Amino acid sequence: MTGPERVRRSARRPVAVPPRVDVLVLGGGPAGTWAALAAAAEGATVALVDKGWCGTSGAAAAGGNNLWFVPPEGDARERAIDTRTREGGFLTDPGRMAAAMARTWDAVHELAAAGYPFPADQHGPGRYLGSLQGPEYMRLQRRRVRRAGVLVVDQSPATELLHDDDGAVVGAAGVHRQHGNAPWTIGAGAVVVATGGCAFLSGALGCNVDTGDGALMAAEVGAELSGMEFSNQYGTAPAFGAETKGLMYQFATYSRADGTELDIGGMGRPALQRAMVEGPVYARLDRAEPELHQKMRWSQPNFFLPFDKMGIDPFRERFGVRAVLEGTVRGTGGIAVPGEGCATTVPGLFAAGDAASREDITGGITGGGSHNGAWAISSGSWAGAAAARSAVGRRPVGTPRPAGRAGLRPATTARGEAAGVDAAGVVAAGVVAAVQSRVLPLELNRFRTGAGLRESLAVLDPLWEEVVDSLAPADRPGTHSRQAAAMVAHARWMYRAALARPESRAMHVRDDHPGTDPAQARRLRVWGLDEVTVAPASAREAVIAS
Amino acid sequence: MIEVISEARCIDCGICVDVCPTNVFDADEHAHPSIARQSDCQTCFLCEAHCPTDALFVSPLSGPAPEGSPLRDEESLAREGRFGEYRGWIGWGHGRTPGSRNDRNQVFTLRLRALRPPEPAAPGSTTAEKEGPRP
Ligand SMILES: Cc1cc2nc3c(=O)[nH]c(=O)nc-3n(C[C@H](O)[C@H](O)[C@H](O)COP(=O)(O)OP(=O)(O)OC[C@H]3O[C@@H](n4cnc5c(N)ncnc54)[C@H](O)[C@@H]3O)c2cc1C
Ligand code: SF4
Ligand code: SF4
């Protein structure tokens, strides 16, 4: 089938992008698509750009989402707020939790109306709408967004924001990576960053597109982050692969290579991860009653697919397991969104989904498995609507300037290499490997100590300087140098915040401070790139207000 | 990681090139798409889900399959029924029922909630080691 008459894929041109829209959405996962729908519903002109393909790209498309799906009846929602407030380490915002549950409930009914194939009535006690399988969910979201008149631009990562003389965000720029990295620029009345979290290219399911680009871009225009110490979420995967869906491990028993059983119940994560530090751990899903097996398979087909392909029966045979870093994807840190409608601390800039801090609804424990998906829906919907309203009549003051620096415009090239520094001094792959060596190991990141954090920063701080100085985009399709820069920035934010919290709270474990200190039940803001600063959120708000 | 594009099955629709989130494939004007950047593959299986002719095989390994591995051998994979497996489960393709109609995740999220350890009573009395289970 290679006849010349066939119109071949490579003959296609990149989508022509408009010079200006009301709302520009960066990222086409759940948060970005819900934002685009909400902005379009307000009557705004909307463009959505994705690094990958809106519909397959991101954590939800690959992994699927069980949702924080709580009925309005009785006191169910109040109880849900209470429980999560405690579990999350007393950092949540009850108002936003209630609003997120309400919005998620409505949004899921919108999905049902749009044709999501939920389980049919006859199978159970009622129609359950609280689980969304990834491929189906995101294929439908793509269709809905396009039907709403949103221009979708795929395979076109954003690399930087544009800002004006007032410091407001007025657009973004990027490249079409399937067309020789041809540049694009779109002006906008408001920009929604929905680029997902940062999982450090660990290979965690669906997360290699989530390299923290949005937070880097936001920090370059002065945005602040929050909750960055809660960035050390690890998923459990079979040792041979990287499938990090976790729910089915509730049926697991764990053992050592010699067969000695470990006394770790189901998904007892910290204990399991401590055991992994000590030596190889094996799992078997032998606590699942046989009559559940088929239900498990239908619920999470992609959990079982890798085992089937390997010829392993996970219910009967032991398989090695390992911990894979999911960083801020299933952690909770991200761009601070204290403003109405998930406005950031920078005018014209909104953030949603995993790119934003999720402390409001999940505190310091992971929101994976329920809260994160609900937050992506609700924060996306709020940010899209608020961005559309704020975009009305907004025009840049003066000439828009691109804000990107590290991994994009190396300082040595900017200086004309006058200092004689080799502009090709560092390469993206080397930077990625250096960051990963400090953030992937459980013993450095999951279980932290002051000394270990300082040791990592002693590597990461000079690495950042090198990146700023000499990491240049290579002629590979995509934005690998930019991704590498974003990862270094995240590692430094994470560890600075972790140092500033000398206690253990929720997922943040300091082995040198194992207890929880009631006086530290407050959030930490982080900002800056060359100079990273951490301060309690309340103190920071006071400074900004004065 | 992606290992196989079946020459016999591929109809050059270009969908895999379009949809791969990490841009692993290159279109080719004179041949089938090629696996141009295997090392960028994130093993998400979504190209398998979208390929209309079940022409792709993604091995479950997080690295490349070793030389001689059956996970790279089209004939053996075809014999074992490994092409189109994910698509079958999610029920995509003509005349199939979406797999999501059989989704019973609720059973497992409810069961998990019932297994939760008792909650700490007051602010500050918790330690991180008691962090509850989560999917
Ligand atoms: C294995 C796994 C299972 C999970 N299960 C659950 C669950 O059961 N319940 C739950 O609530 N949560 C779950 N989560 C979390 C949930 O999937 C995420 O919270 C959710 O996907 C967040 O949506 P998002 O749109 O913010 O990010 P993503 O879905 O990650 O999407 C981000 C998008 O941004 C794009 N992008 C990235 N960089 C750029 C750039 N520079 N320019 C343009 N676009 C860019 C990406 O290509 C991608 O399309 C799970 C996560 C994982 C990893
Ligand atoms: S999606 Fe399948 S049929 Fe289409 S080009 Fe790719 S491999 Fe070939
Ligand atoms: S498995 Fe995912 S990342 Fe790998 S080639 Fe297929 S679509 Fe691309």
Domain CATH for A89: 3.50.50.60
DSSP secondary structure code for residue B2 in this structure = E
Distance from C-alpha of A501 to C-alpha of A366, rounded to nearest angstrom: 18
pLDDT at A168 over 70: yes
Q: What does the block give as tokens for B41?
A: 């593959």
State the total domains in chain B.
1
pLDDT of residue B131: 38
Query: Quick check: CB of A59 below 6 Å from ligand 1?
Result: yes
Judge: B49–A366 Cβ closer than 8 Å, yes or no: no
Check residues A4 and A290 and name the one with the higher pLDDT.
A290
- Render pLDDT for A502-543 as a digit per residue (tens, 0 to 9): 999 999 999 999 999 999 999 999 999 999 999 999 877 666
pLDDT tens per residue, range B35-70? 999 999 999 999 999 999 999 999 999 999 999 999
Residue pLDDT, tens place only, A379-394? 999 999 999 999 998 9
Q: What is the mean pLDDT of residues A452-467?
A: 98
In a domain, A464, yes or no: yes
Q: Give the separation between CA A33 and CA A141, rounded to whole angstroms.
A: 6
Residue A39 belongs to some domain of the structure = yes
E strand segments, A78-181: 131-132, 151-153, 158-163, 169-176
What is the Cα–Cα distance from A149 to A42, expressed in whole angstroms? 12
Instruction: Quote the CA–CA distance of B20 and A26 in Å, as a whole number.
Output: 18
Q: Which two tokens stand for residue A147?
A: 């039907």
Q: Quote the minimal CA–CA distance from B94 to chain A in Å.
A: 15
Q: Which residues of A touch B118 (CB under 8 A)?
A: none
Q: pLDDT per residue over A136-159, tens digit each? A: 999 999 999 999 999 999 999 999
Beta pairing class for A46-49 and A20-26? parallel
**CATH at A474:** 1.20.58.100
Tell whether A344 is covered by a domain: yes
Query: Cα of A378 to ligand 1 centre, how many Å?
Result: 14
pLDDT (0 to 100) of residue A412: 83
Under the banding of pLDDT at 50, 70 and 90, the label for residue A72 is: very high
Beta strands in A318-457, from DSSP E residues, in sequence order: 319-327, 334-335, 349-351, 401-402, 447-448
pLDDT of amino acid A6:
47
Name the residue among B22, B31, B104 with its Cβ closest to that of A298. B104
Please check whether residues A505 and A464 belong to one and the same domain: yes
pTM of model > 0.90: yes
Show which of A310, A327, A344 is a domain's final residue: A327
Report residue A83's pLDDT band, with 50, 70 and 90 as the boundaries: very high
- Residue B74: its pLDDT value, please? 97
Residue nearest to atom 2 of ligand 3 (CA): B44
- Are A435 and A494 in the same domain? yes
Separation between Cα atoms, residue A111 and residue A117, nearest integer Å: 9
Instruction: Tell whether A3 is covered by a domain.
Output: no
* A207 and A70 together in one domain: yes
Tell me the per-residue pLDDT of A255-303, one tens digit each, with 9 for 90 and over: 999 999 999 877 768 899 999 999 999 999 999 999 999 999 999 999 9
Q: Is A326 in the pocket of ligand 1 (CB under 6 A)?
A: yes
**Distant-in-sequence, close-in-space partners of A175: CB < 8 Å, separation ≥ 6:** A156, A157, A159, A181, A182, A183, A184, A478, A479
Residue A248 lies in a domain: yes
Residue A125 pLDDT level (bands cut at 50, 70, 90): very low
Show which of A327, A354, A386 is a domain's final residue.
A327
A69, part of any domain: yes
Residue A308: CB atoms within 10 Å: 19
Residue B52 Cα to ligand 2 middle (Å)? 7
Residues A458 and A339 reside in one and the same domain: no
d(CA A322, CA A171): 41
Asked if residue A220 and residue A346 are part of one domain, the reply reads: yes
**Shortest CA distance from A57: residue in chain B:** B21
For residue B117, count CB atoms less than 10 angstroms from its CB and return exposed for 0-12, middle for 13-18, buried for 19 or more.
Answer: exposed
3-class secondary structure, A533? strand
**Residue range A203-232: mean pLDDT, rounded:** 98
Nearest ligand 2 atom to alpha carbon B11: 3
Lookup: tokens for B50: 């979208």
Nearest-CA residue for atom 8 of ligand 2: B10
CATH code of residue B25 = 3.30.70.20
Residue B116 lies in a domain: no
CB contact under 8 A, B134 and A478: no
Q: Domain range holding A509?
A: 411-545
Number of domains in chain A: 3
Nearest to A362 by CA among A152, A126, A354: A354
Q: Do the domain assignments include residue B120?
A: no
Which two three-digit tokens encode residue A462? 């000079």
| Residues A344 and A464 placed together within one structural domain of the fold | no
Contact A131 B42 (CB under 8 A): no
Last residue of a domain, one of A402, A424, A446: A402
Best of B32, B35, B58 for a ligand 3 pocket test (most atoms within 8 Å of beta carbon): B58
Q: How many helices (H) and strands (E) does chain B have?
A: 5, 4
Tell me if A7 is assigned to some domain.
no
Q: For ligand 3, is residue B43 a contact (CB within 6 Å)?
A: yes
pLDDT at A126: 52
Comparing C-alpha atoms, which of A256, A52, A69 is closest to residue A157? A52
CATH of the domain at A285: 3.90.700
Considering the domain boundaries, does residue B34 fall inside one?
A: yes
Alpha-carbon dihedral angle through residues B48, A373, A337, A77, given to the nearest 10 degrees: 170
Contact flag B71-A305 (C-beta cutoff 8 Å): no
Domain hosting B21: range is 2-101
* DSSP at A530: S
A37 and A144 in a single domain? The answer is: yes
Q: Other C-beta atoms within 10 Å of A343: how many?
A: 21
Nearest to A507 by CA among A371, A372, A376, A362: A362
Q: Which residues of A touch B11 (CB under 8 A)?
A: 1
pLDDT band at A14 (very low <50, low <70, confident <90, very high): confident
Quickly state the pLDDT bin for A120 (edges 50, 70, 90).
confident
Name which of A80, A31, A84 is nearest A360 in CA terms. Answer: A84
B16 contacts in chain A (CB < 8 Å): none
Nearest to B11 among A1, A178, A295 (CB): A1
Task: Specify the pLDDT at position B118.
Answer: 52
The verdict on A314 and A416 lying in the same domain is: no
Q: A320 and A197 in one domain?
A: no
Residue found under tokens 């952690």: A331
Residues A303 and A337 in one domain: no
Select from A434, A530, A405, A429 the least CA-distant residue to A478: A429
The reply to whether A75 falls in a domain is: yes
Together in a domain, A337 and A415 = no
Question: What's the rounded Cα separation, in Å, for the pair A394 and A187?
Answer: 11
Q: Mean pLDDT across chain A, nearest whole number?
A: 93
Q: Is the CB of B38 inside a 6 Å radius of any atom of ligand 3? A: no
Q: Residue A270's closest CA among A505, A446, A494, A516? A: A446
Residue B63 to chain A, least CA–CA distance (Å):
8
Model confidence over B55-64: pLDDT tens digits? 999 999 999 9
- For residue B117, what pLDDT band results from cuts at 50, 70 and 90? low
A155 token code pair: 């395979």
Neighbouring CB atoms inside 10 A of A222's CB total 17
Query: Which amino acid, one-letter code, is at A509?
Result: V
Assess whether A390 and A497 both reside in one domain: no
Which residues of chain B are within 8 Å of residue A10 when distances are taken between CB atoms?
26-29
